[in-house]
Amino acid sequence: MGWRTSKAMARFLPRCHFVVVSTLRLFPSREQRRHVLSVLRSVQGPAQAQAHCLCSRVFEEDGFDTAICYMEQWDSEEELFQHIRSDLYNRILAAVELSKTQPEQHFHFIKETRGMDLVEEIRTHPEREDA
């Protein structure tokens, strides 16, 4: 079956009707980099263990900026807001303080998420622009 999922199987996959994605890019000094990674990784597990947190990820960018990225996905706006008010989130804010330049924080409120089905649909019907 590979990455393709039949329509019969698709009904068993969880569908989120609303997701909030929080992204944070930090730019620590070389000396602070390991500490920032350690702080964010210490938040990752406890955040993901919360009922409405779909995932929590730490990424390291390669290239000129060499930013550290932290991302969370939530299926409840209110639960995300409670998380932001929590002691756990204070650790994230402590990591923010270690950024040598202005960090980039964004909250994306998403109504619909599509996967490989969109790629397949667009490639199968290239004349459609509103897939």
Residue 65: inside a domain: yes
Q: Which residues of 101-115 are buried (b: 16+ CB within 10 A; e: fewer)?
A: eebeeeeeeeeeeee
- Say how many domains are in the chain: 1
Residue 2: inside a domain: no
20: which 2 tokens?
A: 């909030």
Distance CA 54, CA 15 (A): 12
- pTM of the predicted model as reported, rounded to 2 decimal places: 0.78
2: which 2 tokens?
A: 């590979």
24: which 2 tokens?
A: 């944070």
Residue 1: inside a domain: no
- CATH number for the domain including 73? 3.30.70.100
Residue 11: inside a domain: no
Residue 29: inside a domain: yes
Whole-number Cα distances in Å, 112 to 18, 52, 67: 7, 17, 28
Tens of pLDDT along the chain (131 residues) come to 344 443 433 443 445 568 999 999 999 999 999 999 999 999 999 999 999 999 999 999 987 778 999 999 999 999 999 999 999 999 999 999 999 999 999 999 998 888 999 999 999 987 766 65
Task: Domain of residue 66: give its range.
Answer: 17-124
